[in-house]
């Protein structure tokens, strides 16, 4: 909203300093600062409010060290992350930008699903919370919306870099390095020549006209990614600071991709696809990172608040949508490797237990407990050590993800 106000003041009154709001870098910095301040200052007030309302976590005794002491710790802290993200974005971003609209809908939609889940657990005293089928339905619905918007909306385009022999300069001396903006289903894929994969080619063998039906492939992929990543973030939220810290690393890396892909100069220099209008997402990312870091102020061991499903489902949904929007969704297994191994540890544990119980009559386990972070807790590692080491692995994966862009 401030963007439009200062744009008006600049055009009509040439107000000193108003032109700063034209720059994404300035608005991103302001969004980060405001988000960080809001989450740290008003976060405490939200925690106190949750305590007064007795929105505390009920803990089942799983035999983990320090677990019982956490009973009664306020949950639904994801509200801190949501509010700290939305307020700066509404103030500093162009809210009519298609990518910002998609991210705002994602935040509110996934936050609502998580909120209902937490509400049922806490106030209805139902530990299972929202039924799994309704969670999946909500994720699928969001996936349909995001997939349809990214595929059909006319403002979602990309520009491909012209081969050197086809690059030229206009009469005014302006170099033309990219094609005109066009609709495309191309995405980034590591370890392949040119680092690109076109979803439309998956069905193009069925006939030339089938390229127009690439949404049949694209939208289900979007649904799968949103569901998988949001559930992965949910599983990772098991010990103090793990989900928030890991997510901050992932989102910051996606911020680098967004900044590069949304800037025609950097896109040309690094030889990556240029995505018009996507640079505005940098403001959302800056606010989101500020919210996650501010939340960590209260969520690191010993946690004063838990994010609950209100936070974890929202975080996973946002990460998935950001990755898809900047055409980096196929890098998620590397970038969000922590989420992946947490997911896999649960799948392997449950599958192996059922298989051995059916075969031998007694179920056996691969890990002492799943998700994986609980395995290390059972092995005697302190929460802080587990979280710190997972963060270090997350940083390594983030750096490797960036490096893969040049592996062709």
| pLDDT one-digit tens code per residue, 78-123 | 999 999 999 999 999 999 999 999 999 999 999 999 999 999 988 8
- Residue 74: its pLDDT value, please? 85
Dump pLDDT digits (tens) for 227-282: 999 999 999 998 999 999 999 999 999 999 999 998 888 887 777 788 999 999 99
pLDDT of residue 66 exceeding 70, the answer is no
Dump pLDDT digits (tens) for 208-219: 777 778 899 999
Task: Provide the pLDDT confidence category of residue 337 given band limits of 50, 70 and 90.
Answer: very high
Dump pLDDT digits (tens) for 29-65: 999 999 999 999 999 999 988 888 766 555 555 556 5
- Residue 64: its pLDDT value, please? 64
The fraction of the chain above a pLDDT of 90, given in percent, is 58
- Residue 29: its pLDDT value, please? 96
Distance CA 112, CA 106 (A): 10
Sign for the CA dihedral angle at 250, 251, 257, 260 comes to negative
Distance CA 250, CA 336 (A): 7
Q: What mean pLDDT do residues 371-396 have? A: 93
**What's the farthest any 2 CA atoms get from each other in the chain?**
81
Within a 13 Å sphere around the CA of 170, how many CA atoms are in the beta-carbon half? Answer: 6
pTM (2 d.p.): 0.93
- Residue 61: its pLDDT value, please? 52
CB-based burial label for 399 (10 Å; 0-12, 13-18, 19+): exposed
């Amino acid at each position: 909203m401030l963007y439009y106000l200062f744009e008006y003041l600049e055009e009509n009154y040439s107000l000193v300093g108003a032109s700063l709001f034209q720059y994404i870098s300035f608005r991103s910095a302001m969004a980060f600062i405001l988000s960080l301040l809001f989450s740290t200052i008003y976060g405490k007030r939200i925690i106190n409010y949750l305590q007064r309302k007795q929105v505390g976590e009920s803990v089942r005794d799983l035999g983990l060290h320090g677990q019982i002491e956490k009973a009664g710790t306020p949950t639904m802290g994801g509200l801190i992350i949501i509010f700290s993200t939305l307020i700066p974005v509404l103030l500093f971003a162009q809210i009519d930008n298609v990518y910002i609209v998609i991210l705002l809908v994602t935040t509110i939609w996934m936050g609502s699903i998580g909120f209902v889940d937490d509400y049922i657990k806490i106030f209805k005293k139902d530990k299972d919370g929202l039924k799994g089928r309704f969670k999946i339905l909500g994720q699928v619905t969001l996936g349909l919306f995001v997939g349809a918007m990214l595929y059909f909306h006319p403002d979602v385009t990309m520009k491909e870099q012209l081969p050197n022999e086809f690059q030229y300069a206009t009469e005014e001396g302006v170099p033309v390095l990219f094609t005109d903006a066009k609709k495309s289903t191309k995405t980034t894929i590591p370890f392949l020549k040119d680092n690109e994969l076109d979803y439309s080619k998956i069905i193009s063998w069925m006939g030339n006209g089938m390229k127009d039906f690439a949404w049949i492939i694209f939208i289900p992929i979007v649904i799968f990614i949103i569901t998988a990543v949001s559930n992965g973030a949910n599983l990772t939220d098991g010990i103090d600071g793990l989900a928030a810290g890991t997510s901050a690393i992932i989102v910051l890396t996606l911020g680098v991709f967004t900044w590069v892909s949304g800037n025609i100069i950097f896109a040309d220099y690094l030889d990556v696809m240029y995505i018009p209008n996507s640079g505005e997402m940098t403001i959302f990312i800056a606010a989101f990172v500020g919210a996650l870091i501010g939340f960590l102020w209260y969520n690191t061991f010993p946690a004063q608040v838990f994010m609950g499903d209100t936070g974890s489902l929202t975080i996973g949904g946002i990460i998935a949508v950001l990755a898809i929007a900047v055409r980096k969704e196929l890098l998620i297994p590397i970038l969000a490797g922590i989420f992946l191994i947490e997911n896999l540890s649960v799948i392997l544990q449950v599958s192996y237990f059922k298989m051995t119980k059916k075969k031998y009559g007694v179920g056996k386990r691969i890990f002492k407990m799943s998700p994986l972070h609980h395995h290390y807790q059972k092995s005697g590692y302190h929460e802080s050590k587990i979280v710190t080491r997972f963060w270090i692995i997350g940083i390594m994966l983030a750096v490797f993800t960036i490096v893969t862009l040049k592996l062709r």
